[in-house]
Structure 1
């Protein structure tokens, strides 16, 4: 019995001494977490028309206009470029679009933002953006709200209008099926 107890004790010591044998390395939390917005927005509706997956950068006492310069292509979020999936044929602005997944970019302008649907996927930021692969462009209307939103956000209303919000800037783009 003493031999069995000694053997079990030795095994336990051996296994506990080698904790890295099964340890998994996890990266630290992303400062711009991944999020998604879908239309219809209700969680009770499982048959969605579209869904956007994007990362949410924070203002962190910075100005939106320093982070998203005028006239330059922006990835519409942080990290990888935002992606939008249409589950059925739709329209992006006035352009008919086939069901599928596309990247989503924006160009900030004074009174409108140009929103861009592009066929390149899995792109990091806008560094590899290729305008030759644009599917459609549409003008989103800009408005200013009294409430400031710290983290970049995308949402849809009941009619299918997509809203972008960051700081006090709001951009809206209606969709139609």
Structure 2
């Protein structure tokens, strides 16, 4: 009787171990808007700025209409609000930005975009955004590129006194200046 009970207990324990192990090896599917990082400079340990954002895809939609609607606050990506980290004090739109983490919001427009740095962090989309927590905002012109970008993209380019954050989606391009 004890041997039967011991075998039953061991068999049950083995089955539980096997079932937990099988579940632990399942992975969720790939995110449809994967997380990405743009930093300046791009390589090395002397970074000044990092931007963490999710890259939504066009999938036949039109920027300014079905996605990132003109005139409305946008999280500047997908999923969580885009986070920008300053690893040194910088200037944005003539205002000093102290070292730390912030959210980066935009208000897209047909001819210009308003770019906003906010002390609101860890928000889903634009939930939790409060205009009174804006640190700085700047309006930049829209230009059109030759190539259509399926995924929303960001990259930095060095300037004499800092860097420009370039954002592009479809043929829309904007350039956002940051200075030391």
Q: Give the structure-2-normalised TM-score.
A: 0.85
Residue 121 (structure 2) pairs with residue 121 (structure 1) = yes
CA shift in 2, pair 1:17/1:80, >3 Å: closer
Find the counterpart in structure 2 of residue 3 from structure 1.
Answer: none
2:136 and 2:144 map into 1 onto residues whose CA distance is 26
Cα deviation code 1:10-46 (max 9, x no counterpart): x6896367522333254322100000000112x2x21
2:176 and 2:13 map into 1 onto residues whose CA distance is 62
Residue 57 (structure 2) pairs with residue 58 (structure 1) = yes
2:135 and 2:158 map into 1 onto residues whose CA distance is 25
Aligned equivalent of 1:165, options 165, 168, 171: 168
1:157 aligns to what SS in structure 2? Answer: strand
1:134 and 1:17 map into 2 onto residues whose CA distance is 52
2:129 aligns to what SS in structure 1? Answer: coil
Find the counterpart in structure 2 of residue 83 from structure 1.
Answer: 83
The runs of at least 4 consecutive aligned structure 1 residues that moved more than 3 Å come to: 11-14
Cα deviation code 1:138-171 (max 9, x no counterpart): 1122100110000000100122110000000001
Alignment of 1:37-116 (within 5 A): 37-41=38-42, 43=43, 45-66=44-65, 67-116=67-116
Alignment of 1:25-36 (within 5 A): 26-36=27-37
1:19 and 1:134 map into 2 onto residues whose CA distance is 52
1:13 and 1:124 map into 2 onto residues whose CA distance is 43
2:85 and 2:128 map into 1 onto residues whose CA distance is 20
**Structure 2: stretches of 5+ with no match in the other structure:** 1-9
Find the counterpart in structure 1 of residue 156 from structure 2.
Answer: 156
